[in-house]
Structure 1
Amino acid sequence: MTDVLTAARAEALFSSELATGSEPTPSEIGAAIRRAIQVNGGSRGCAGTLARAYGERPETAVPRMRWALRQIVAAYPRTLPRLVRTRDA
């Protein structure tokens, strides 16, 4: 399952200028996300770009979204909450 922040980042990366298949650094990914959000008028604009691509060119949109998700998961690894041990009273 993909959380909302991961999905929004992937949508922005999808709508960025980075080439599918590239292996950008985390800082390049962050910069591309910021630019895509600016160019598309926010995260909703990025989602719209994604939706249009799926409607117009699903054969290229699917691999690009898979690539975007892989890049986001690698650049922003989720950390699991630490378990806190409590003392029994």
Structure 2
Amino acid sequence: MISMVQDLAAEALFASHVQPSEHPSPHTLEEAVSAMIVRHGSDGCAAVVAAEFGDHPDEAVRRMCWARSALLAMTGTRAPHLVS
């Protein structure tokens, strides 16, 4: 369940106007996530993400990585280490 909430938050932040170069505060991140969920709903946020991955895959990967990292930093959680 927590993973689904984290995924939705990342999709909502991805869909927002907030840019990494702004170095947004946790409050700004929370407001952006909430606004996008209210505006688009969970399915709409996912649709925005899917469209961007289809149209601009390289940029979309970087933005999603930033969105996930920003949210993890906001909550004080560390990203999982991948073992190859």
Which TM-score bucket, shorter chain as reference? 0.7 to 0.9
CA distance in 2, matches of 1:47, 1:76: 22
Counterparts of 1:2-81 in structure 2 under 5 Å?
A: 3-40=3-40, 42-78=41-77
Could you say what secondary structure the match of 2:76 adopts? coil
User: Given residue 64 of structure 2, which amino acid in structure 1 is its aligned partner?
Assistant: M
CA distance in 1, matches of 2:44, 2:38: 9
CA distance in 2, matches of 1:57, 1:24: 23
- In the alignment, structure 1 segments of 5+ residues that lack a partner are 79-89
Q: Which runs of 4+ in 1 moved over 6 A?
A: none
Q: Give the number of the structure whose alpha-carbon radius of gyration is greater.
A: 1
Q: Deviation of residue 28 (structure 1)? A: 0.6
CA distance in 1, matches of 2:42, 2:30: 14
Q: Deviation of residue 21 (structure 1)? A: 3.9
CA distance in 2, matches of 1:77, 1:7: 16
- In the alignment, structure 2 segments of 5+ residues that lack a partner are 78-84
TM-score by length of 2: 0.81
TM-score by length of 1: 0.77
Which moved further from structure 2: 29-38 or 18-27?
A: 18-27
User: Given residue 46 of structure 1, which amino acid in structure 2 is its aligned partner?
Assistant: C
User: Given residue 27 of structure 1, which amino acid in structure 2 is its aligned partner?
Assistant: H
1:55-88 per-residue CA deviation (whole Å, 9 max, x = no partner) reads: 111011000000000011011235xxxxxxxxxx
Q: Deviation of residue 20 (structure 1)? A: 3.4
CA distance in 1, matches of 2:48, 2:38: 13
Aligned length: 76
